[in-house]
Amino acid sequence: MKIKNKYPPNIDKIREKFPNLPSGVVFTYGEVIYAPFGKVTSDLRVHEKTHTKQQGDDPDGWWDKYLADEKFRLKQEAEAYRNQYRFYRETCKVKSRIRPFLEKIANDLSGKIYGNIISFDEAIRLIQ
């Protein structure tokens, strides 16, 4: 996967749906990770690679459905966060960091970046 330090081609549609994007957000559009604010960690690459597979050869169609359909968005993100968490859990050398990492990504999944579509506890369950 390529990484570009800029916004994806559909950023206007994304901002229309989520007008208050926090800094540090990363996007995948097709085979490219768009990281306008910097570094992409190994675990985040796993997350974004999941979205590449989900998008297949129709990133426009995937993004349209992702932005319009809350249930679809949750399903896509839950799979990506689950893969990210599994990778982190398997590669983390300091086991005491695993639970805080899970809580951080569950907070993201249950937060306003995805439209507050589930609770924190539900996010924990979906990711594990």
| Greater model confidence, 22 or 104 | 104
Q: Which long-range contacts (CB under 8 A, 24 or more apart) does 31-36 make?
A: 31/1, 31/2, 32/1, 32/2, 32/3, 32/4, 32/8, 33/1, 33/2, 33/3, 33/4, 34/3, 34/4, 34/6, 34/7, 34/8, 35/3, 35/4, 35/5, 36/5, 36/6, 36/7
pLDDT for 27 equals 97
Per-residue confidence band for 61, with pLDDT thresholds at 50, 70 and 90: very high
- For the cut 90, the answer to whether the pLDDT of residue 127 exceeds it is yes
17-42 pLDDT, tens digit each: 998 888 889 999 999 999 998 889 99
Tokens of 83: 């893969």
Q: Which of 62-66, 110-114, 121-125 has the lowest mean pLDDT?
A: 110-114
Mean pLDDT of all residues in 100-113: 95
